[in-house]
């Protein structure tokens, strides 16, 4: 009876926590969280609701699926290597359709849906990682990184406004692309880096991951101000120091991945409170996003 009570309580808590998640946010469909987990032996995509975690991709063989995002039309975009290399797919109901066909051995991954129906993604189709936009069935390259440097991990930051990660200055930093003009927005001290921008809808702020304090934590930039918003145990990247990364903004707070419990799991911060949302089987993990 105690186990039944605890299970019911856990479902109720998850339902309450998820009630504040907007259906328009990056990793949600109808207010339900999309996430990646290897709880069944390999990376697949799951949906978390008040009913618990439900697996929604069933990739054949040793192939995997990961990094799901919600599109404005209610479909789910994700990355998979089910056809032998990374490509982007769309899941509508029970039907999965491949939407990128990258030439040769090149790949496409890391989809991000824009409000007008277009799609941002990373691809090495021109010999190195760059950011592309797909409108309908046509793809155009929108970053042109000099030399051997690369750009990737783009997120829509508003009308004609894109945040992305690049190493064009010798290490990972975050840039903003407006029209055809790129502007650097993080200036991480020393050899430390900043990456994984996550714009907060309706504000001028964005969350990002940085190791500026010795290990990966989540920070927020508002105007010229940068503040650290996660504090995980330990002081460096050494074994035993836990980290937090891959923020996903929600109303009143954000979701993120942390290994503070020993393995990566998904947490939610609202104000000063932090709650764990996923509980994977021993030795397995769950992620808001799979960094590539």
pLDDT of residue 238: 52
Start-to-end Cα distance in the chain:
44
Q: Which domains does the chain have, with CATH numbers?
A: 2-287 (2.120.10.30)
pLDDT of residue 3: 31
pLDDT of residue 234: 62
CB 264 within 8 A of CB 43: no
pLDDT of residue 214: 92
pLDDT of residue 241: 79
Q: How far is CA 79 from CA 2, 100, 289, in A?
A: 40, 10, 11
* Whole-number Å distance between alpha carbons of 275 and 270: 9
**Model confidence pLDDT, tens digit, residues 235-285:** 555 556 799 999 999 888 999 999 998 899 999 999 888 899 999 999 999
Q: Which residues contact 1 (CB under 8 A, 6 or more apart)?
A: none
Question: In what helix (H) or strand (E) does residue 2 lie, and over which residues does it extend?
Answer: helix 2-18
| The pair of three-digit structure tokens given for residue 279, joined into one six-digit string | 């509980």
CB 272 within 8 A of CB 42: no
| The pair of three-digit structure tokens given for residue 258, joined into one six-digit string | 């942390």
CB 285 within 8 A of CB 263: yes
pLDDT of residue 16: 40
Q: What is the mean pLDDT of each run of 10 residues along the chain (292 residues)?
A: 34 43 52 91 93 93 97 95 99 96 98 94 99 96 98 90 97 96 97 96 89 95 94 63 92 91 93 90 93 66
Closest by CA to 254, choosing from 196, 194, 189, is 196
In 10 A of CB 81, how many CB atoms? 17
In 10 A of CB 212, how many CB atoms? 18
DSSP class of 281: P
CB 235 within 8 A of CB 241: yes
Mean pLDDT value across the chain: 88
pLDDT of residue 232: 84
């Amino acid at each position: 009876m105690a186990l039944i009570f605890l299970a019911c309580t856990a479902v109720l808590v998850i339902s309450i926590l998820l009630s504040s998640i907007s259906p328009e946010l990056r990793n949600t469909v109808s207010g339900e969280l999309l996430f990646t987990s290897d709880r069944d032996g390999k990376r697949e995509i799951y949906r978390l609701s008040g009913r618990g975690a439900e697996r929604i991709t069933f990739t054949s063989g040793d192939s995997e699926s990961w990094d799901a995002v919600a599109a404005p039309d209610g479909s789910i975009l994700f990355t998979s290597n089910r056809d032998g290399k990374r490509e982007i797919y769309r899941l509508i109901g029970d039907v999965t359709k491949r939407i990128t066909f990258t030439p040769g051995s090149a790949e496409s991954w890391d989809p991000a849906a824009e409000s007008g129906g277009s799609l941002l993604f990373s691809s090495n189709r021109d010999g190195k990682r760059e950011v592309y936009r797909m409108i309908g069935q046509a793809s155009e390259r929108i970053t042109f990184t000099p030399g051997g440097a690369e750009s990737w991990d783009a997120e829509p930051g508003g009308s004609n406004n894109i945040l992305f990660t690049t190493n064009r200055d010798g290490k990972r930093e975050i840039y903003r692309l407006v029209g055809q003009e790129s502007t650097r927005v993080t200036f991480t001290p020393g050899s430390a880096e900043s990456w994984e921008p996550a714009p907060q809808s309706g504000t001028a702020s964005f969350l990002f991951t940085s190791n500026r304090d010795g290990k990966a934590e989540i920070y927020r930039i508002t105007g010229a101000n940068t503040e650290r918003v996660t504090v995980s145990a330990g002081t460096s990247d050494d074994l035993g120091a836990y980290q937090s990364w891959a923020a996903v903004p929600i109303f009143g707070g954000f979701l993120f991945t942390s290994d503070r419990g020993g393995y990566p799991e998904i947490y939610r911060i609202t104000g000063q409170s932090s709650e764990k949302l996923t509980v994977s089987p021993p030795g397995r993990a769950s992620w808001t996003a799979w960094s590539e």
